[in-house]
Structure 1
Amino acid sequence: MPLSRNTDFFGRKATLDDLRDALLPQEPANDEVGKGTNNIKSFSILGPAGIGKTQVVIEFVHLHMHCFDAVFWIHADERSKIIEDVNKITKQLGLVDEASADSDDQILTRDLFKTWLENPVRTFASTSAQSRASWLLILDHVIDPKILDEFWPAKGETGSILITSRRNTLWNAATYPSGTLQPFTPEEAVDFIGILAQRDMSEEERQCARLISDKVKGYPLALKYLTGGIVEQNISFAEFLIQDHGRSAKRRRNINPVVRFIDNEEHSFLESAFDSISHSRPLLDVLSMLDPDHIPLDILKAPSTGFRLPGYPSTEQALRSSVQQLFKYSLVVKNKIPESLLMHRIVQDAARKQMEPDYYRAVFNACVTLISSKWPFREFTWRHGTSRWDQCEELLPHVMTLRGFASKHNTRMDDLHGAFAYARLVCDCGWYCHERGKTTESDMFGSIAQKICEELKQFYPLDLVNADKNPSEQQVADALAEILHNRGVVAVEVNWRRESLEHLTRFNEMMLQELGDRPAGQDMRLALSFNELGCAYMLRDNFEKGEECFQKSISSMEKLDNFEKWQISLPLVNLGFVYWLIGRNSEALDVLLEGLSVRERKFGYNDRESFITGRFLYALGNAYASLEMFDESLQYHGRALDHYRETLGSRHHRTADTYIRIADNFLRLKDGEHALALVEKAIQIYLSSAAFTAEAARARYWKSKVLRKLGQVKGAENEEKEALKLYREARQKFQDIMPEDKRPFEELEGVDFDRLIVFWSR
């Protein structure tokens, strides 16, 4: 629960009764127990901002918490926030070991949570109906209901889901009940004002209170702010109305166009509070551009250099003083998480609407500076590891929120520094999303960063007046090179063949132009560019070009100052794959065994430094299988499986690749049952993401082969149909470089499916 119970909660009895009737758990009928009947209840509370949806939910939970074994609160306005909240809940339920790599796999924890919702056992010692837990899942502030599909349990005999949303409708009301929360009636509003003001009202005062309610159309949040201002100023309701009339006249005269409210607009009830926080206003404006559900105080501390928002608190003492003033006027509230704030979205909207364009840009830049000062940027080199993930995950919602405001302004000559800082932040944020397997978010951030840097280039070279206060032309070029690298690597990972070659060719050309003729020093970007370009060529089965690039990457690395052999691990393992794929298996073994030996000397036997050692083990298993040394093949593939599980997690696509290879070994040993179990695990992993359609096609192909070996002809035929469907769907993505393949399943071989897959997963 992000908020404590509201001691001023008032009314809403009919809505609370509807929620009680719709959501309180009931025992399933005896003939439904254990049959997978979908008895999950749901109810959606709809209504505009400020109507009190979240407050009703909090009150309902406190009234009926004793009826549920577990209550889960999820911030549902962004997919990234849902998946992070689910990840935390899964750990708290003990469904995954927090110390394992699986705990960092957000797709796995999503699936584990959904599985638990469908069969919510109180204890893993018993799965009987009597041990099932009753649960309530709250999805607060849903904007796009489509993103709920991947988190919604498909079936279940118990459980309730409560949704809040500003949308007028979410789904078919007959299937998914909902109710629209209405404003208070005039009499309800007057009673609510009396409770907030803690005073007995005469008939004259009640009439004034009705006028106040009419002003804000009976919205509870607006009534709370206005009444709070009246109490703070210790004035009567009549005096407030006279005062408000004067403010309206002043607005109409447009005396202060920089900070203004339009007369009778939806946010005008906040004017009194805003007028009372002059020294805290810059902080309020910064808060208006951050994620409202969790704002740690730590990210609000201004860095000692580079911060340019006039009036913003420059010391921790000044920051806490400003926060206290915002508390006083209820413009922020305390989060249950220590040292963090919550802010109502309507307050954020009101603050932003008051900003003139230049000031809006200054506040946006200030937010970028604050987040960047806390963001753990990763150096542009061979980048792997998970140590920064927790810190990035806390800041990611704020970067996602800023993205929505970035489109409000274009790159300008007088703000090159601000544009560059934002490009740098979203570039590294995109790389973090890539590390976590968030391909959509990664490509989105990469696209934003590239667009900004391309726009920045047009302003260079700078004149002497502007050169000192803005990023240099080389800094912009370096940032663009990193962006192209990142976008190319993401494209390779998900097998986007055209995009990967486009981005990585350009990255390589930039590095050749900058670094090709000068001493290498410690700059390994040229070596990086050759390695990644080699991967792009490999996606197109251009093995000759791939080999050439990997060799150049190794040569470039060897010229670096303080070079160590383990540093060429990635191009070396890629080169081993080239040799294996073109049938030079002995050479592949020599390269791979040497690379593995170097890593063992550096990091120890079976190190868990990163997943790179797993790639050597996997490739060695493939090479030994091609040489028909099947015992050695099974040994190395088994080691690769253990390594991937511990470094990447049990539901990573590379782990699934290894299941397929080991299944092949088991099939050769005539152990069809074990082969089938492994292939089915792989299929489940691949189907969790649309990025792995080709891998799923291959897995279905192998499952059909296993089922035929086991004599399960009907099952095999079904898998053949699914494999062919997925094969053609995957091949359609590569129609620019592959002709249409209309062959029936019987004419396809394993190599046909492999050609659709990234080379390191074959």
Structure 2
Amino acid sequence: MAELRRSGGDGASASERILVVFPGYHRAWAAWIAQCLESHGHQATLQRWDPPREIPLEDSLADLLLASGPVLLVLDDWFFELGPRPAGEWNDALRGFVAANSDRFAAVNLTNRSLLPATAVLEPASLWGLSEEAAEERLMRRLGLERRRVPRPSAGRARYPETRCEIWGEVPRRNPRFTGRDDLLTTLHQRLADADRGAAVCTLLGMSGIGKTQLAAEYAHRFSPDYDVVWWVNSDDRNIQRDRLGELAVELGLRVGNEPGERIRAVREALRRGEPYGRWLLIFDGWDDTEGIATLLPQGAGHVLVTSRNRGWSEHTEILEIPAFLRAESTAYLLRRAPHISSAEADEVAAEFGDVPLPLVQAASWLGESRMEVPEYLRMVRERRLSTVDEPATGEGFPQSSMTSWSILLNRLRGAQPQAIDVLGLCTSFAPGRIPLGLIRAYPHADLPEELRWMATDLPAWTRALDTLVNYSVLTRETRGPVGVEMGPHQESVHMHRLVHDIVSKLTSEDSRVVHRQAVRTLLAQADPGNPLDSRNWPRYAELLPHLEPSGALSSAQPRVQETVLNCLRYCYRSGEYKGGLDLARRIRDHWSRIMDPLAQPMLDLTTQESNILRASGRFRDAYELDRSVHQRLGTAEPRSELAELSTKGAMAASLRHLGRYDEAHELQLEVLDGYGRLLGPDEGLALIARHNLGVGLRLLGRYQDGYELDLDTLAKRENVLRARHISTLNSGGAVAHDLRLLGKYRDALARQEPVVRLHLQVLGARHPQTLSARGQLVMCRRREGGHTQDVGPEMASLLDQLAQVHGRGHYRTLAFITNYGNFLREHGDLSQARELIDEAEAGYRALLGPAHPVATGMLSNTGLVMQAAGERAEAMSMFEASFAGLTATLGADHPWVLGCALNAASARNLNGRIADSVELSRDTLRRARHTLGHEHPLTLSCQVALAADLRAAREHEEAGKLEDDGLLGLTRTLGAQHPHTISARQRTRPYWDFEPYLG
């Protein structure tokens, strides 16, 4: 082996300065080599090298020798395509200049493929397929350097390039023909490295076809040794984006359920903390809709890349504009892909396509595969463009020539490979981006059109067609599954660029489009798991949903396809994707209203799901009007459908409850329950739902005992019919505990709710919306029970954060908990934060429900309590009186909410010197509380203690003393001697009542 010239005086033991020369494509190897050299006491300088074609190769090689030490070339077949240059030029330079300076040059080889014959002069040490230890040993031996055992810290070390990072998530395969962009990649890496912690987010911005995705993928591969986690998130569709980001939770080992929002929050928290990995890279590809950024973008020590066409990202992240290729990059790509053309011809083709990467890729693929001469190719492109005056525009500044070049390609394939045209047409009936093309192999017995059945039965023909399209750069292959595991054809997916999808669609005949869309609709229906309630099926629904409209599924008259469409909508509701669900419901209604009767069963099912999503989004009035309009139509329809009417009435009752019209809702719900019981039987699923909803209405009416008895019976029926772990059974268990708490049986409520929450956590996960509600109820049970006061505060703060992440702070469920936490803080002396929270909740409810809604009115009482605690007595009394009067007018004088407001109003009258008025109100309130809630209810006993205080102020001490003694005995019996309410009453602290908002 040739010996390298030494710069030190003591031979191999001297410290060397080595210049490591590499193409940008192999930056990871160069970094690892430099690390190895430095760990043995040597100095390494990295030099990315791409010698310009116009400079003689000997001159570029001579420039490398200006360095003082050995020059190490990092070789593979890619190295000899730099420029690119003819193989003969490289061989001449190696045999001449390099051979003459062999004492200065050394090389390592990263491939098992043949290199140029003259490479032998470098005597490259092969590192291909070696372990890290063996590669390091061979590198040092080739350079003639002694290995020194120097301890190397693990932190910050470059990973051996053959070792994949800990988590590698669906990054597109590396493009072996990736060209240029080295300066852009270096700039991007530097920006991310220099950014402050939590702010390392950069958006690659540019028009379609400019190469944003390719650049992001190359960055991931080139700089992967810098990261422990690299995770790719396709972001063209919101549902797929959320599902894909949530999948990272499983890879990180986080113990969460299947609900996308829960998984995303867990992922963001883990990344923020840097546990279990602090060096991570997330890439959101094709994220054009900037809504919801705050709930998806992670923060922490890692890096985030976004690719987008939307300039709105400049308001949220740093922007890196992606320009067209430099002319040298364009010509280099063309010359590598089609080596038979000249540099001048490559320049002409690049000019024709405006140096835009996507059309250049297609042009290069055509020239490389067909071996056509450039003059002939350009003549075809130009003549076809001039003669086709009706050719559709491509938009976005995309060169018009590209449409013509695609037309030429398709014409060639029609003659040479018609089956590839079939596959391509099928792809255009899916949405662009990731296409689950393997569905056609997964369901070979699907009822496909006769001319497409070969796709399911003839695997060799299928493979040839796909290979052709991949070779012509029309599609790229993707697979989903663990790294290193080969996926079968039935699991295969491909990626079709949005712009290619658009162009090919325009060049596809209408007859073909009809056939292909029918096939895709059939496949989507076959792939429907059939149960959107099961969260294990949600990833499949997220995959199917984007393809409904392109395939024509939304306008299909086939019942099986319509059911798939509805199941996708049900998935949106169950998974909490309300915004996407409402948009999908609108599009379904737009299509179906043209092809079916408004009262057809699919339309009624659509209304049910849309109404559910509207209510879940807080749009109660819209939901009610939607259901009411359908109910009016049903009332005049012939023949009559009583079940449809009952379903619509049940939805209307739910909306009326949320709107505060409790009596109307109750009467309607009674009709629904009676009807289902008569038509279906008392234990059928719909009847049980109606029973549960009747219990909700009874709670809102203040009929707590009636609600408890009904809910207890419903729970028993559901445990018998559905079993204990069913989501509806869990809901009934929570309802019983809620009733017990409202009845003042705090210990019993707590004992009920604790196992209910444990089951919710096991079955649904910690952050499922129903689990969060159950956890909120548990916190309130602990607070009312009185023995967990020290633990409740931090638990409430944490739960409020989680609710806000799931629903947003303006959602009615979050507002309810904001209220409860604000009341807790006020009770424990934090008036400042309590006022902020109560003010926020009051304003939120007023905006959501209107000022006259019972919940918005009841919130005034909470505001009054804060004011009274702050010494603002007159202002507090105004709030109490307004709340008392407003709720009396809407709910009646005996409703428990009214009784609580009356308790607070009497207290304010006393504090403001209106003793006689206070006594009168307190006496009336006690009488009504005993009638409504019973003598032993905590609110009744509080009213009794309050009346005693007012009577003392009025100097009626005998009656006051008797009432107080009886009240203390009652509190001791019901709550215990050490309960905070009992202690406060013993200390003669005036009782109060905080309003707990509830919408059902």
Structure 2 length-normalised TM: 0.62
Give, in whole Å, the separation in 2 of the partners of 1:650 and 1:593.
Answer: 25
Match of 2:968 in 1: none
Does residue 673 (structure 1) correspond to residue 806 (structure 2)? The answer is no
1:396 and 1:67, CA in 2 relative to 1: closer, same or farther beyond 3 A? same
For 1:169 and 1:554, the matched residues in 2 are separated by 51
Distance 1:534 1:168 in 2: 45
Of 472, 475, 496, 1:343 maps to 496
Partner of 1:463: none
Shift of 1:560: 4.1
Is residue 58 of structure 1 aligned with residue 203 of structure 2? no
Deviation at 1:216, TM superposition (A): 0.6
Q: SS at 1:149's partner residue? A: helix
Distance 1:181 1:615, change over 3 A: closer
1:105 pairs with 2:220: no
1:462 alignment counterpart = none
Contact 2:797–2:821, Cα closer than 8 Å, also in 1: yes
Q: Matches of 2:743 and 2:330 in 1, distance apart?
A: 82
1:567-622 alpha-carbon deviations (Å, 9 max, x no partner): 62211122223333334333323222222222223344xx112x211222222112
Give the secondary structure class of the aligned counterpart of 2:257: helix
Deviation of residue 93 (structure 1)?
Answer: 0.5
1:470 aligns with none
Q: Which amino acid aligns with 2:848?
A: K
In the TM superposition, what is the alpha-carbon distance from 1:137 to its structure 2 partner?
A: 1.6
The question of whether the paired residues in 1 share the 8 Å contact of 2:683 and 2:721 is answered with no
What CA distance in whole angstroms lies between the structure 2 residues aligned with 1:577 and 1:176?
A: 46
Q: Structure 1 643/699 Cα, relative in aligned 2: closer, same or farther at 3 Å? A: same
What's the counterpart of residue 527 of structure 2?
374
Corresponding residue SS for 2:334: helix
Amino acid at match of 1:638: E
What amino acid does structure 2 have at the position aligned with 1:594?
A: D
Q: Name the counterpart of 2:161.
A: none
Is contact 1:267–1:346 with CA below 8 Å preserved after alignment?
Answer: no
Preserved contact between residue 426 and residue 448 of structure 1 (Cα < 8 Å)? no
Which of 297, 309, 312 pairs up with 1:152? 297
| Per-residue CA distance 1:275-300 (angstroms, 9 max, x = gap) | 22322334323312424432223334
Aligned counterpart, 1:617: 733
Out of 563, 578, 593, the position equivalent to 1:439 is 578
Partners in 1 of 2:847 and 2:242 — Cα distance? 30
Distance in 1 (CA, whole Å) between partners of 2:323 and 2:690 is 63
Match of 1:486 in 2: 609
TM-score (norm 1): 0.80
Cα drift, residue 508 of structure 1? 4.2
Are 1:268 and 2:404 counterparts? yes
Deviations 1:299-338 (A, max 9, x none): 3468867766976856442655543432342211210323
C-alpha separation in 2, matches of 1:331 and 1:246: 23
Q: Does the Cα contact within 8 Å between 1:25 and 1:67 map onto a contact in 2?
A: no
1:726 aligns to 2:841 (yes or no): yes
Contact 1:42 1:162 in 2 (8 A): yes
Match of 2:17?
Answer: none
Helix, strand or coil at the partner of 1:437: coil
**CA distance 1:666–1:219, change in 2 (3 Å):** same
In structure 2, what is the Cα distance between the partners aligned to 1:258 and 1:267?
8
Q: Is 1:656–1:681's contact at 8 Å kept on the other side of the alignment?
A: no
Q: What residue in structure 2 maps to residue 115 of structure 1?
A: 269
Return the letter of the residue paired with 1:613. T
Cα deviations by residue, 1:656-699 (Å, 9 ceiling, x for unpaired):
33334333332331532222233223312331223853333332
Q: Provide Cα deviations, 1:149-195, integer angstroms capped at 9, x if missing partner.
A: 322235x3x211222223456315xx844332232333332222111
Instruction: Name the CA distance, whole Å, in 2 between partners of 1:176 and 1:16.
Output: 17
Q: Distance in 1 between matches of 2:998 and 2:505?
A: 47
Letter in 2 for 1:438: E
Conserved in 1, the CA contact under 8 Å of 2:826 and 2:834?
A: no
Question: d(CA) in 2 for partners of 1:507 and 1:641?
Answer: 38
Sort the Cα spacing of 1:171 and 1:514 in 2 relative to 1 into closer, same or farther, 3 A: same
Matches within 5 A, 1:357-756: 364=517, 366-377=519-530, 384-386=533-535, 388-399=537-548, 417=556, 425-457=564-596, 477-509=600-632, 525-560=644-679, 564=683, 568-604=687-723, 607-609=724-726, 611-668=727-784, 669-688=786-805, 689-690=807-808, 693-710=811-828, 713=829, 715-735=830-850, 738=853, 743=860, 745-746=863-864, 747=879, 751=897
Of residues 282-291 and 209-218 in structure 1, the stretch that sits farther from structure 2 once superposed is 282-291
CA–CA distance in structure 2, aligned partners of residues 277 and 330 of structure 1: 13
Secondary structure of 1:455's counterpart equals coil
C-alpha deviation, 1:625, in angstroms: 2.3
Q: How far apart, in 2, do the equivalents of 1:46 and 1:566 lie?
A: 52
Is the counterpart of residue 67 in structure 1 residue 222 in structure 2? Answer: no
Question: Shift in Å at residue 65 of structure 1?
Answer: 1.0
Where 2:582 maps in the other structure, the secondary structure is helix
Alignment partner, residue 468 of structure 1:
none
Give the distance between the partners of 2:791 and 2:551, measured in 1 at CA.
49
User: What is the one-letter code of the residue matched to 1:134?
Assistant: R
Mapped partners of 1:284, 1:626: distance in 2: 63
Distance 1:258 1:322 in 2: 28
SS at match of 2:590: helix
Instruction: Please show how residues 268-347 of structure 1 align to structure 2 within 5 Å.
Output: 268-278=404-414, 279=418, 280-300=420-440, 315-317=456-458, 319-337=462-480, 338=487, 339-347=492-500
Q: Would the alpha carbon gap of residues 736 and 674 (structure 1) be closer, same or farther in structure 2, given more than 3 Å must change? A: closer
Residues 420 and 452, structure 1, Cα contact 8 Å, conserved in 2 = no
Query: d(CA) in 2 for partners of 1:481 and 1:556?
Result: 18
For the residues of structure 2 that align with 1:680 and 1:150, how far apart are their CA atoms?
A: 19
Output the amino acid matched with 1:218. Answer: D
* Structure 2 residues without counterparts, runs of 5 or longer: 1-169, 481-486, 865-878, 884-895, 902-993
Closer/same/farther in 2, CA of residues 515 and 299 from structure 1, 3 Å limit: farther
1:374-419 per-residue CA deviation (whole Å, 9 max, x = no partner) reads: 22445xxxx844453233122123337669x98xxxxxxxxx7569
Rounded to whole Å, the distance in 1 between the matches of 2:692 and 2:672 is: 12
- In structure 2, the CA distance between the partners of 1:514 and 1:319, relative to structure 1 (3 Å rule), is farther
Distance 1:633 1:736, change over 3 A: closer
Structure 2 counterparts to residues 183-194 of structure 1, below 5 A: 183-194=324-335
Instruction: Name 1:413's counterpart in structure 2.
Output: none
Determine helix, strand or coil for the equivalent of 1:194. Answer: helix
Matched with 1:44 is 203
In structure 2, relative to structure 1, the CA distance for the partners of 1:723 and 1:402 (3 Å cut) is farther
Q: 1:758 to 1:562 in 2, by over 3 A?
A: closer
Q: Is the CA contact (8 Å cut-off) linking 2:249 and 2:266 kept in structure 1? A: yes
Question: Which of 500, 503, 506 is the equivalent residue of 1:353?
Answer: 506
- The one-letter amino acid paired with 2:548 is V
For 1:268, the aligned partner's letter is T
One-letter code of the match for 2:259?
A: D
Q: Aligned letter for 1:335?
A: E
Distance 1:377 1:531, change over 3 A: same
Give the conservation status (yes or no) of the 8 Å contact 2:476–2:496: yes
How big is the shift at 1:724? 1.7
Specify whether residues 590 and 644 from structure 1 end up closer, same or farther in structure 2 by C-alpha distance, changes over 3 A only: same
| Bigger-Rg structure (1/2) | 2
User: 1:258 deviation in Å?
Assistant: 14
Write the distance in 1 (CA, Å) between the matches of 2:683 and 2:556.
37
Q: Which moved more, 1:306-315 or 1:40-49?
A: 306-315
Cα offset, 1:58, TM superposition = 2.2
Paired amino acid for 1:296: P
Whether the 8 Å contact between 1:694 and 1:727 is mirrored in structure 2 is no
Aligned partners of 1:517, 1:76: CA distance in 2, in Å? 46
Rate the CA distance shift 1:176–1:621 in 2: closer, same or farther, 3 A: closer
Which structure's relative contact order is higher, taking Cα pairs within 8 Å and 6+ residues apart? 1
- SS at structure 2 position matched to 1:48: coil
Distance in structure 2 (CA, Å) of the matches to 1:243 and 1:626: 81
